[in-house]
C-alpha cells in the first residue's frame, strides 16, 4: 500500500517537474520541490517498514536493493531540485524512479527471518556501499541522457525553448564526473567488503563465479570511463555515452546474475 503511495507521489512530482521543463514558472517548481520532499518522506517510511521485526537494513534481496537504490538516488536529486539550474533534472529522473519501483512492486516484501550471515560486520558494509555506488551510477545515467539531449540541441543550433530549462553542458559534465568518481569509490569499496565477507564465511568462490565476473565487468567499464576522463580528458559526450553503456550493462548483469543466483546474499551463501 505504502509502495503504491510512493509510486503515485513520484509520478505526480515527475509531472510537475516535466511541466516546469516546458513552463518555467516559480510556483510550479516550488510545488514540485514540496511534493518531492513528501515523496522522499513516504519512501523512507516504506524502506523503514521493510526492515522487518529484526530491524535489519532492508537490503536482503535484489528487489529491496532496487528500492534502496531509488531512495538514495532520490536523495541526490532532491539536492539538485533545490538548485535553480538543475531543478529540471527531476523531470528525467522521477519517471525512471517510478517505473523502477513499479517493476519491483509485486515482489517487494519486508525482511522475514534474519539469517545468521546478516550479522556479519561485512554484510551491511558490502550491501550499503554497492547500492550507494549503483545509485550514483543511476544518477550519472540520467545526467548523461540529459547531456546528450542538450548537446544535440546545441549542435543543431536551434535553441528550442525547452533547451533554456536544461542545465549548461559544463555543469552537467561536472555532475557526471562527481557521480562517476564517488560511485566508483563506493562500488570498489563495496566489492572489497563483499570479498572479505565471502572469505570470512569460507564460501566456495566457484559457486558465485558468475557474480564475481559480472561485478568485475561493470567495474572495468566505469574504471575505463574514469581513466579516459582523467588521463586523456574525455569529457562530455564520450563520458555520457560510456556511462549510459555502463549503466545498461550494470542493469543487465544485476538482473541476469540475480536470476542465476537467487538469494546469493542470504540462503545461497549459507549453503
Which residues in this chain contact another protein in the complex, by CB under 8 A? 85, 150, 153-155, 157-159, 161, 163-164, 166-171, 232-238
CB 94 within 8 A of CB 102: no
> How far are the Cα atoms of 51, 131, 198 from residue 138, in angstroms, in the given order?
23, 10, 26
DSSP state of 261: S
DSSP code for 83: S
Minimal distance, residue 220 CB to another protein, in Å: 22
Q: Which residue has the cell 529522473?
A: 93
Q: Give the nearest distance from C-beta 239 to another protein in angstroms.
A: 10
**Residue 227 Cβ vs another protein, minimum distance, rounded to whole Å:** 14
Residue 217 Cα to chain centre, angstroms: 18
Q: Min. distance of Cβ 230 from another protein in angstroms?
A: 10
Question: Of the two residues 157 and 202, which places its CB atom closer to another protein in the complex?
Answer: 157
For another protein, the closer of residues 52 and 236 by Cβ is 236
Least Å distance, CB 76 to another protein, is 20
In angstroms, give the least distance from the CB of 174 to another protein.
Answer: 10
Cβ proximity to another protein: between 107 and 233 the closer is 233
∠ CA 104-218-131 to the nearest 5 degrees? 45
Nearer to another protein by Cβ, of 72 and 172: the residue is 172
Pick from 105, 159, 138: nearest CA to 247: 138
* 228 contact partners, CB below 8 Å, separation of at least 6: 234, 238, 239, 242
How far apart are the C-alpha atoms of 180 and 173, rounded to whole Å?
10
Between 86 and 111, name the residue whose CB sits nearer to another protein: 86
Residue pair 98/166 in contact (Cβ under 8 Å)? The answer is: no
Contact (CB, 8 A) for 56 and 114: yes
Shortest Cβ distance from residue 155 to another protein (Å)? 7
Q: Which of 16, 103, 121 is nearest to 67 (CA)?
A: 103
Residue 33 or 150 with smaller CB distance to another protein = 150
Question: Which is nearer to another protein, 105 or 171 (by Cβ)?
Answer: 171
Of 55 and 170, which CB lies nearer to another protein in the complex structure? 170
Q: Please say whether the beta carbons of 16 and 59 come within 8 A.
A: no
What is the Cα–Cα distance from 141 to 134, expressed in whole angstroms? 10
Least distance from another protein to the Cβ atom of residue 19, Å: 17
Amino acid at each position: 500500500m505504502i509502495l503504491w503511495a510512493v509510486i503515485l507521489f513520484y509520478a505526480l512530482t515527475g509531472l510537475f517537474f516535466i511541466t516546469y521543463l516546458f513552463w518555467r514558472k516559480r510556483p510550479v517548481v516550488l510545488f514540485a520541490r514540496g511534493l518531492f520532499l513528501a515523496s522522499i518522506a513516504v519512501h523512507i517510511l516504506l524502506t523503514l517498514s521493510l526492515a522487518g521485526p529484526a530491524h535489519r537494513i532492508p537490503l536482503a534481496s535484489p528487489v529491496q536493493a532496487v528500492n534502496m537504490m531509488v531512495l538514495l538516488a532520490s536523495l541526490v536529486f532532491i539536492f539538485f531540485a533545490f538548485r535553480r539550474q538543475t531543478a529540471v533534472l527531476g523531470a528525467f529522473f522521477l519517471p525512471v524512479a517510478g517505473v523502477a519501483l513499479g517493476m519491483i512492486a509485486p515482489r517487494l516484501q519486508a525482511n522475514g527471518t534474519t539469517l545468521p550471515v546478516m550479522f556479519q560486520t561485512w554484510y551491511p558494509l558490502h550491501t550499503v556501499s554497492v547500492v550507494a555506488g549503483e545509485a550514483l551510477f543511476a544518477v550519472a545515467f540520467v545526467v548523461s541522457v540529459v547531456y546528450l539531449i542538450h548537446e544535440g540541441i546545441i549542435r543543431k543550433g536551434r535553441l528550442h525553448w525547452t533547451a533554456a530549462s536544461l542545465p549548461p553542458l559544463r555543469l552537467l559534465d561536472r555532475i557526471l564526473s562527481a557521480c562517476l568518481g564517488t560511485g566508483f569509490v563506493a562500488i570498489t569499496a563495496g566489492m572489497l567488503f563483499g570479498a572479505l565477507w565471502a572469505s570470512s564465511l569460507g564460501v566456495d568462490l566457484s559457486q558465485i563465479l558468475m557474480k564475481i565476473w559480472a561485478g568485475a565487468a561493470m567495474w572495468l567499464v566505469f574504471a575505463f570511463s574514469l581513466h579516459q576522463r582523467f588521463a586523456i580528458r574525455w569529457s562530455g559526450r564520450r563520458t555520457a555515452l560510456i556511462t549510459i553503456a555502463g549503466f545498461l550493462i550494470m542493469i543487465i548483469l544485476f538482473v541476469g546474475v540475480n536470476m542465476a543466483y537467487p538469494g546469493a546474499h542470504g540462503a545461497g551463501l549459507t549453503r
